[in-house]
Structure formats: structure tokens, C-alpha cells
């Protein structure tokens, strides 16, 4: 574990009745990083985030945010955390500006000027009633509220759900600016893998309530490749060298997706293709599902 990590989870486990929601999850989010938390539906992403914030007590294991145990987050530590929950808890009877001001009052670093500037950047009408906002606009407001309090840690659960492409671009720019000075970090749970690929530098993939992998995005890209063979290779020989995620033969060529690519393999590979995050994610999750 890295002492300097702003978020540390150590063998977190959570169970809802007979269902194991999160199983022995260990994770660190160092300062200056954006960590993308990925996983299929029901993998335990939201439960993990809620445990980190002390909203869901773990069955076992522990977590710390900004050095404070999640189960006993002090108001001072909470004031340094920005959180966008999966379901926003906005007061529908307030106006946008009023909601932001009410929220900001709880956070010592909040200033109205910064809040209003964020409203402008996210193109939110300050005098609009929240009950009349669209789903996407409500999400924008949740994001603005999290950013406006100038936190040290941002925990975002599907923040861009319902965002149009322009708003997503604004969000990604804001996140990049947020971690630029290297002292703050973001934990971002989302299904929009294109966004994660653009913004995140670290990836954690949850599948079947377990942490499938946790690595830097560049490492992941280096490790996961598509190997193209002109002749179908010997499966056992490939499996001896690589960890194979999938195998497909089409029009005389064979494509093998591997998750631990290295150069000194000694196999008759014609070409090696890089993979985007979405392909990597799908192959990894499929393999895990098949296992």
C-alpha cells in the first residue's frame, strides 16, 4: 500500500444478504491521478464507492480516505471530499443557485464566485428550479456541486450519465485541470469507456464483485494486444507464452487477444495490434465471465 495514496481500500468486503457485492477489494488512488473504476452492471462499483464514503459499512476489510477511516470520516475530512452519487439528492424545490449556495455553505473552501463560474461553464441556468431540470442538467449540477467545494478527492459515480458530448468534454477538461497540480485525485466510476480512456491514467476493473485488475492505463495498453497469425498457431504453445483472452479464426488468419504481451515470445506472429480500452474491458470481462 502507498502511504501517500489519498484513497486506500484494503480487502473490502460487502454482502447484501446472500449476495456478495464486493469481495476482498484492495485499491489505492495516488495523488495526481484519475482512476477509472470500471465493471459490468452489478459488479460492485457503487457499493465500493459508498463504502469508501462510509455510507455502507463493510462486512470486513477497511478503507481510508485522506488518511481517515471511511467508517469514521470526520466533518473536516468530509469537507475535503467531493462526491457525485449515482442518484442525486438534490432538493427539487430549490433553484440551481440556491442549491449550490446551500451546499457550499457546508464547505469552508467554497466561494460563490467559483460556484457561479462553474455554473456558467457547465451552462446551467442559476435561476431555474431543479424540479424543471432535465436528467442531464441535474447531473451537471451534481458535478458542479462536487467541484465547487474545491475538494482534495473527487469520487464520481456515473457523473456523465445523460450528458451531451459537449458537456462530457467540459467535464473531462475540468477533471484534467483538477489533478494537474498533482496533489488531488479522482476516482471515476463510469460505463463510458471513451471518457475513461481520455481522462484516466489508472484503471481498476471490477467483475463478479472482485477486482479483476488495477493498473496504469499505459501498462494495460502495453499488455493487452491482438496478435495476428497467418497460420493457426498451436494453442498450447501460445497459452504457454501468453495469457489468452480470446481466439478467433477468420479468412485464414487467426487473431489472438492476450493480456500479458511481451516481445520475446518466439511465435510466428505476423502483426501486433494495440487495443482500445473498450475492447480490453470486454475481453477481460468475457474471460472472467467464462471462467
Partner 1 sequence: MNPRLPLVLCLVRVHLEKIAWSIIVGLLAVGLFSVASPWRPINVIITIITLGLTASIYWPHGMRAQAEYEATLPVGRALANAARVLALLCAVLLIVGCWGGCYYNGNLVRAAHWLGEHLRKPNIFAHYYEQCREMFELNWRMPGYQKNTGFAVRTTLCLAWYSALGLAVVLKLTRWWRVAAGVIIMVVGIVAWLWGSNPTRPSAADLLAYRMYVQTIIANVMLNAILIGLLVFPRRVR
Q: By the criterion CB under 8 A, which residues form the site for partner 1?
A: 53-55, 75-76, 78-79, 81, 83, 85, 87-94, 98, 102-103, 105-107
Report residue 17 as a C-alpha cell: 444478504
* Spatial distance between the Cα atoms of 63 and 5, rounded to a whole number of angstroms: 11
C-alpha cell at 10: 484494503
State the minimum distance, in angstroms, from the CB of residue 83 to partner 1.
5
Residue 89 or 252 with smaller CB distance to partner 1: 89
Residue nearer to partner 1 on the CB measure, 76 or 177: 76
**Which residues, in sequence order, are CB contacts of 218 under 8 Å at separation 6+?**
201
Instruction: At 86, list the grid cell.
Output: 449515482
* DSSP label at residue 234: P
Shortest CB 49 distance to partner 1, Å = 11
- The residue (of 16 and 93) whose beta carbon lies closer to partner 1 is 93
Single out the residue of 49, 101, 54, 96 nearest to residue 74, CA to CA.
54
Q: In this complex, which beta carbon is closest to partner 1, that of residue 49 or of residue 258?
A: 49
Grid cell, residue 281, equals 474491458
Burial 115-152 (b: 16+ CB within 10 A, else e): bbebbebbebeeeeebeebeeebbbbbbbbbbbbbbbb
Kindly state the smallest distance separating residue 89's Cβ from partner 1, in Å. 3
Closest CB to partner 1 among residues 129, 244: 129
Q: Which is nearer to partner 1, 75 or 165 (CB)?
A: 75
Q: How far apart are CA 91 and CA 95, in angstroms?
A: 9
Query: Smallest distance from the beta carbon of 76 to partner 1, in angstroms?
Result: 7
Least distance between partner 1 and beta carbon 147 (Å): 15
| Residue closest to 174 by CA, chosen among 62, 45, 166 | 166
The CB-of-33 to partner 1 minimum distance in angstroms stands at: 22
**In the complex with partner 1, which residue's Cβ is closer, 138 or 214?**
138
What is the nearest approach in angstroms of partner 1 to the Cβ of residue 113?
13
Pairing of strands 153-157, 185-189: parallel
Per-residue CA distances from 79 to 145, 181, 203 (Å): 12, 19, 26
Amino acid at each position: 500500500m502507498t502511504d501517500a495514496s489519498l484513497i486506500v481500500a484494503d480487502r473490502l468486503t460487502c454482502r447484501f444478504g446472500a449476495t456478495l457485492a464486493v469481495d476482498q477489494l484492495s485499491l489505492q488512488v495516488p495523488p495526481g491521478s484519475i482512476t477509472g473504476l470500471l465493471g459490468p452492471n452489478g459488479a460492485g462499483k457503487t457499493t465500493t464507492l459508498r463504502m469508501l464514503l462510509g455510507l455502507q459499512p463493510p462486512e470486513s476489510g477497511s478503507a481510508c480516505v485522506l488518511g481517515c477511516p471511511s467508517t469514521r470520516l470526520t466533518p473536516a475530512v468530509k469537507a475535503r471530499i467531493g462526491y457525485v452519487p449515482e442518484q442525486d439528492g438534490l432538493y427539487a424545490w430549490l433553484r440551481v443557485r440556491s442549491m449550490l449556495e446551500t451546499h457550499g455553505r457546508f464547505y469552508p473552501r467554497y466561494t460563490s464566485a467559483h460556484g457561479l463560474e462553474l455554473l456558467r461553464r457547465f451552462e446551467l441556468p442559476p435561476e431555474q428550479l431543479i424540479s424543471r431540470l432535465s436528467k442531464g442538467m441535474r447531473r451537471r449540477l451534481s458535478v458542479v456541486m462536487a467541484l465547487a467545494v474545491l475538494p482534495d478527492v473527487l469520487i464520481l459515480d456515473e457523473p456523465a450519465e445523460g450528458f451531451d458530448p459537449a458537456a462530457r468534454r467540459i467535464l473531462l477538461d475540468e477533471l484534467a485541470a483538477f489533478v494537474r497540480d498533482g496533489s488531488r485525485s479522482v476516482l471515476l466510476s463510469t460505463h463510458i469507456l471513451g471518457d475513461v480512456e481520455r481522462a484516466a491514467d489508472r484503471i481498476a476493473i471490477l467483475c463478479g464483485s472482485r477486482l479483476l485488475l488495477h493498473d496504469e492505463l499505459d501498462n494495460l495498453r502495453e499488455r493487452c494486444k491482438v496478435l495476428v497469425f497467418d497460420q493457426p498457431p498451436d494453442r498450447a504453445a501460445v497459452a504457454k507464452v501468453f495469457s489468452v483472452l480470446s481466439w478467433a479464426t477468420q479468412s485464414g488468419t487467426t487473431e489472438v487477444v492476450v493480456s500479458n504481451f511481451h516481445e520475446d515470445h518466439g511465435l510466428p506472429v505476423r502483426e501486433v495490434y494495440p487495443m482500445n480500452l473498450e475492447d480490453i474491458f470486454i475481453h477481460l470481462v468475457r474471460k472472467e465471465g467464462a471462467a
